[in-house]
Amino acid sequence: MIVKVCGITNQEDATAAAEGGATAIGFNFWPQSPRSVAVERAAEIATPAGVRRVGVFVNESPARIAEIVRIARLDVAQLHGDESEADYPAGIAVWKAARVGEGFGFDAWRDCPAEALLLDGPAADLYGGAGRTFDWKRAASAEKRIIVAGGLDAANVAMAVTLARPWGVDACSRIESAPGKKDHKMMLEFLQAARQALCI
């Protein structure tokens, strides 16, 4: 099971997330994100064994993703752009993000080779989500590993898990004091609620 805190930009937040029970932390490498972090900075942020290091990418080349994975010691490439399967980096675990809007359906993802689908709320023209929830019941019919993202916090994560029955959950903007800076109290409350809901 995955309990992920995304948008990590500093050691203090990474340490607090890991100590609070996060099983994965995310570094955003999309330059236009307010939570974007330099590759070298991400490489300096330490994480304990067992916490997966996830890089968020948008329409990046497979070669560049592989380079960043190596430098920042990532375990997973989370792809939030318009990538096709041909754009997946070879030999690297991939979580493919998909927005759950009006026309969303799982048929298009039936043969997706990603380790998991990360379902996010609608975000108009934004990549990487906008902190909005979606109808979590729509995720329950998936035949793949699902990670629920978008607008999650301590107040709603248990309901998201109950309705979606996901492999994992992912929070970012609702547990921040400012973009890229976590509110440690809110983050800890989310982590405790998520772990309890997922029974881990």
C-beta separation of 144 from 112 below 8 A: yes
What interhelical angle do 157-164 and 184-198 show, nearest 10?
Answer: 30
Give the separation between CA 92 and CA 5, rounded to whole angstroms. 20
Q: Does residue 199 have an active-site annotation? A: no
Whole-number Cα distances in Å, 27 to 3, 5, 65, 90, 197:
15, 9, 13, 20, 25
- The structure tokens listed for 95 are 């979580």
Q: 6 catalytic, yes or no?
A: yes
Strand ranges, E, within the chain: 2-5, 24-28, 52-57, 76-79, 93-99, 116-120, 146-148, 168-171, 176-178, 181-182
> Of residues 13, 120, 153, 170, which has the active-site annotation?
120
Query: Angle 67-31-129 (CA atoms, 0-180°, nearest 5)?
Result: 105
| Active-site option among 6, 153, 170, 172 | 6
Active site (catalytic) residues:
6, 120
